[in-house]
Structure 1
Amino acid sequence: MSQIKAIKGNIIFTKNFGEYEIIENGYVVLVNKIIKGVYEVLPEELKNASVIDYGDKLIIPGFVDLHLHGPQFPNLGLGLDKELMPWLETYTFPEEEKYWDTTYAKDVYTSLARELWKNGTTRSCIFTTVHLDSTKLLMDILNHSGLGAYVGKVNMDRNCPEFLREDSVKSIEDTENFINEYGDKYERVKPIITPRFVPTCTTKLLRGLGDLAEKYKIPVQSHLSENKDEIEFVKSLHPEYKNYASIYKDAGLLGNQPTIMAHCVLLEDEEIEMLKQNKVFVAHSPNSNSNLASGIAPIRKFINEGIPIGLASDISGGHSLSMCNVMVDSAQASNIKWLESGKKEAPLNTAELFYLATKGSGSFFGKVGSFEKGYEFDALVIDDSSLKSFKKLSIQERLQKFIYTGNPKNIIKRYVAGKIIDEPYR
């Protein structure tokens, strides 16, 4: 039986890129998990809807993190004085070895789920490790938490420590078994094909994963052109290819199915066109790009080209799971990029960044990240009364103040698909 309810408060979201939709003391009406509409006053036919009134609080869409590494949660804030390749060898790979132990994995992944919840991240796209059992465990933990996610078992068959190196055939078989077991097991936690990146994956493995993506219509996530040394390494491995992106394209891993490529800091113009033509999402990770001395991605240029963009924490290259922190760092990075470009690539404003952290990232999940009709109701209720101001602020100013100066304690309720999600694993 359909349940109609109305959520009342100061509603703010971005239907269009960079344009706030604001309804003060308004209503979001849901039928079960789906939004029926947003109203200043309830229509007569909805007068009998059950109303949850949050008074003067802000109601915003839930945040979506388009790229993070679950097993690197214990490394948060460590090793960030190194560039990408040495950082992987010194910190990342030794930590990921531990995930053969599902007891250890359970401790980390339950803490990760709680921290995502705490920071208002209602959906995310997560890399795990090469270990199948601990990857399944994360799927179970996230489903139990009530959060939404795509989770990918990482694939690697070269240029990594022996303790993480897979046989190509076995890696593909394990991935297919994972898809078969978990593809339809949960409503909001789904598998995603996850080759770590070209340096650690042979063309045989990449093509096998591309075949699985096509066979099962499974989305894809990986990394692309993050760091200069990485790009030079790829060129040395594959002189037969014109550029980095074409290796993924040849393997069927660049847009044949919905695809996320993280970073994309140093793309050639031909690669930008390839991403545009194949509607590939770029996961922008400014914290990680700065911490690992990778550079500043040309996000305004991508936006102007029509490439879909989402924001990402990229822990633990990134040092925070907070999407508010990611928005602030994105703003700062875009200011520097504006100066570097001779003031041609305009910096990103708060409304644009808010869009990228909600609807921009959320659109990878379908109708997620906005309060438009037909969207799933993922939302945060923000009590910003502790954020002192000595003048009356507009709704958009209150949102900006929360993004820049707030903390998880200001988030008093979290909704995913119309349901209030309580703190998991307390």
Structure 2
Amino acid sequence: MTEPIRLALCGDILHFQRDPGWDEDGGDAARFEPDGWLLVEDGRVQAVRAADQPPDARWTRHDWRGHLILPGFIDTHVHAPQLDVIGSYGAQLLDWLQRYTFPAEARYADPEQSRRGAERFLHALLAHGTTAALVYATVHKASSEALFAVGQALGMRLVTGKVLMDRNCPDDLRDDVEQAERDCVDLIDRWHGVDRLAYAVTPRFAATSSRAQLSMAGRLLDAYRDRAGGLYMQTHVAENRDEVRWVAELFPESRSYLDVYAAHGLLGARSVLAHGIWLDDADRALLAQTGAQIAFCPSSNLFLGSGLFDWARARAAGVRVAPASDVGGGTSLCALRTLADGYKVLALQGQRLPAWQGLYAATLGAAQALGLAHEIGHFAAGTLADVVVWRWADGPVQQRRQDMARSLHERLFAWMSLADERNVAAVYLRGCRISAALAQHDRHAGAAAGHLGPRPLAS
């Protein structure tokens, strides 16, 4: 009989057991174990223990004392090919698509470009502390194939799918309903529910799909409803006012932009719609009724000048919300940068995002919204050990702020506001350390709070 692989990580362990709400104290929703023990057996969490409950000699110990140990972040909306255009100057949404996004995505017709792009993108996600994501590929089947193949090799929880666009787009990115359906069915049959992969039906947004294509997307969701929990659906909604007006012209029979998707059977518990800035109360009620959720993309909304998402109003209506980077409209793959920008977006509306709620939303909250809390987002026994080890501070400014913190929330909020991917010290997927994700951090050897590799820990 094979001996189990046992790993014990020692550090400041934080994870959430429930929604902490929006107060600064957070109640007892979070569990924090300073210098605690995260026990992982054969890739699954076995227990979280206090510092005075060390494991016995059967466990291989990794010493991350002085570091923060969190579940990997979950990105609910991000575009793999748009790393090529991140930080592009001077355009709002519709112009930005034409000037930057569509030319970048056209290059992914080449399967080799798709393969290299998938490797670059998924390694970058891991390096930024994100271990699971809903990802846009391109209209090309090869782009989805590459993401699935690389994600499977890495052991990531990955949801992706071929983008659907059959109108109002460049000729080299236009598909047709019949071929798109064949491509989707083949990808679903070969990848959905395999290992940690799932398929997302992906109309880019209502303006670039005909009614026939949106209806086809709805049929796919219905046809695979009982397979591996069902397919996901990802798209965009009400991001930009010009976009909203355009969709109203294209679909005059629909009451709203969101109603276009409802009319074609695209709203359900596994539907993730990015942005949702320019929704009204009836739209929010429909989201709550169907269980569909909003991916809040503050960095992108600020960068493209799209508007300010009202999380408080969505929350009051019962709409599920999770943060997302939306790279390349957003300017960083790091969830901490997304949360820091989210704080600013809400502050402009008289709202406040506590560190408790932000970190919960990017871990357990996102997992619950996606129906994945049995697997990821926290450290309950039996979950898969997708773990990121973070430096509390990178450099003297961050360190001084940590030293001056008077409470755990103050310390976490300062970390959420100031840290970024340079604070990542280690990434584990299913309990296995992913060294490739840390290549960019070699320069940090010998920095404050230690080292890149775990030290042997005395028994």
TM > 0.5 fold call: yes
Distance in 1 (alpha carbons) for counterparts of 2:189 and 2:221: 12
- What is the DSSP-based 3-state SS (H/G/I as helix, E as strand, rest coil) of the residue aligned with 1:404? helix
The 5 Å alignment of 1:326-405 reads 326-338=338-350, 346-363=351-368, 364=370, 366-367=372-373, 368-384=376-392, 386=394, 387-389=398-400, 391=403, 393=405, 394-405=407-418
Q: 1:244 to 1:181 in 2, by over 3 A?
A: same
Gaps in structure 1 of 5+ consecutive residues: 339-345
- Normalising by structure 1, we get a TM-score of 0.91
Residue of structure 1 equivalent to 2:205: 197
1:336: Cα distance to partner? 0.2
1:126: Cα distance to partner? 0.6
Residue of structure 2 equivalent to 1:235: 248
Distance in 2 (alpha carbons) for counterparts of 1:399 and 1:49: 33
Deviates more, 1:34-43 or 1:273-282: 34-43
Residue of structure 2 equivalent to 1:141: 150
Does 2:185 align with 1:179?
no
Does 2:17 align with 1:15?
yes
Residue of structure 2 equivalent to 1:324: 336
Alpha-carbon displacement from aligned partner over 1:58-101 (angstroms, at most 9, x marks no partner)? 1111111110111111001013x211111111111121111111
Do the aligned residues in 2 keep the contact of 1:263 with 1:282 (CA within 8 Å)? yes
**Residue of structure 2 aligned with 1:105, choices 95, 99, 114:** 114
Identity across the alignment (%) = 28
Q: 1:184 to 1:357 in 2, by over 3 A?
A: closer
Does 2:267 align with 1:254?
yes
Do the aligned residues in 2 keep the contact of 1:7 with 1:28 (CA within 8 Å)? yes
Q: 1:277 to 1:221 in 2, by over 3 A?
A: same
1:293: Cα distance to partner? 1.6
1:132: Cα distance to partner? 0.4
Give the aligned residue type for 1:241.
S
The 5 Å alignment of 1:51-130 reads 51-79=61-89, 81-130=90-139
Distance in 1 (alpha carbons) for counterparts of 2:120 and 2:104: 16
Residue of structure 2 equivalent to 1:343: none
Do the aligned residues in 2 keep the contact of 1:300 with 1:347 (CA within 8 Å)? no
Distance in 1 (alpha carbons) for counterparts of 2:340 and 2:393: 21
1:424: Cα distance to partner? 5.2
Q: CA RMSD in A?
A: 2.2
Distance in 1 (alpha carbons) for counterparts of 2:78 and 2:109: 20
- Report the number of matched residues: 415
1:145: Cα distance to partner? 2.9
Residue of structure 1 equivalent to 2:454: none
Does 2:236 align with 1:223?
yes
Alpha-carbon displacement from aligned partner over 1:262-310 (angstroms, at most 9, x marks no partner)? 0000111111011111111210001111122211111122223332211
Alpha-carbon displacement from aligned partner over 1:356-401 (angstroms, at most 9, x marks no partner)? 1111223315122112334322211123354422736455444333
Distance in 2 (alpha carbons) for counterparts of 1:385 and 1:424: 19
Distance in 1 (alpha carbons) for counterparts of 2:190 and 2:35: 45
Distance in 2 (alpha carbons) for counterparts of 1:64 and 1:160: 30
Do the aligned residues in 1 keep the contact of 2:107 with 2:113 (CA within 8 Å)? yes
Residue of structure 1 equivalent to 2:444: none
Do the aligned residues in 1 keep the contact of 2:354 with 2:413 (CA within 8 Å)? no
- What is the DSSP-based 3-state SS (H/G/I as helix, E as strand, rest coil) of the residue aligned with 2:274? strand
Residue of structure 1 equivalent to 2:325: 313
Residue of structure 1 equivalent to 2:219: 211
Residue of structure 1 equivalent to 2:303: 291
Do the aligned residues in 2 keep the contact of 1:3 with 1:32 (CA within 8 Å)? yes
- Normalising by structure 2, we get a TM-score of 0.85
Residue of structure 1 equivalent to 2:445: none
Q: Which has the higher contact order (CA 8 A, sep 6+)?
A: 1
Do the aligned residues in 1 keep the contact of 2:127 with 2:438 (CA within 8 Å)? no
Give the aligned residue type for 1:36.
Q
Give the aligned residue type for 1:169.
E
Gaps in structure 2 of 5+ consecutive residues: 21-25, 225-229, 440-459
